[in-house]
Structure 1
Amino acid sequence: MATRRTTTKPPKNISPAPAVCSPCNGSGMVAATVRVGRKRRPVGQQDGLCLNCLGSGLAPDA
């Protein structure tokens, strides 16, 4: 009886997952501290658009 040859399947071309923006962690929003008064004391935070990825959540260099 002849020996049975098995071949491996070639790996599929799987595209890598898109890189996540590091300052906003992929959300597209970052917290900005709000300061008021003459001494510029911090009062709270408000959400703002991430200027690194412009709100897309994907890293611009990838």
Structure 2
Amino acid sequence: MAPRRTTPEPPPVVANGDCKPCGGTGNVPTTVRVGRKRRPVGQQDGLCLNCFGTGTDPDA
């Protein structure tokens, strides 16, 4: 029997147009890793790659 194909559901759109990953701030937390074993030591702000820092949803 062949496997069933299902189409993925699109993510729900936020009503106010804010970007989902960053929540409209334009920044997302990025883990900082140090040492030879690359252990995590904290987080810093990084640019949201979904909206490129604008905070608005590009698909809206």
Q: Report the RMSD for the aligned CA atoms in angstroms.
A: 1.2
TM-score, normalised by the number of residues in structure 1: 0.69
CA distance in 2, matches of 1:27, 1:60: 14
Specify every segment of 5 or more residues in structure 1 that has no aligned partner in the other structure, as ranges: 1-16
What is the aligned partner in structure 1 of residue 58 from structure 2?
Answer: 60
Q: 1:20 aligns with which of 18, 25, 32?
A: 18
Structure 2 unpaired stretches of 5+: 1-14
1:18 Cα shift? 4.6
Count the aligned residue pairs.
46
Partners of 2:56 and 2:48 lie apart in 1 by 11
TM-score, length of structure 2 as denominator length:
0.71
1:48, 1:40 → 2: CA distance?
18
Q: Distance in 1 between matches of 2:39 and 2:22?
A: 24
Identity %: 72
Moved over 6 A (4+): none
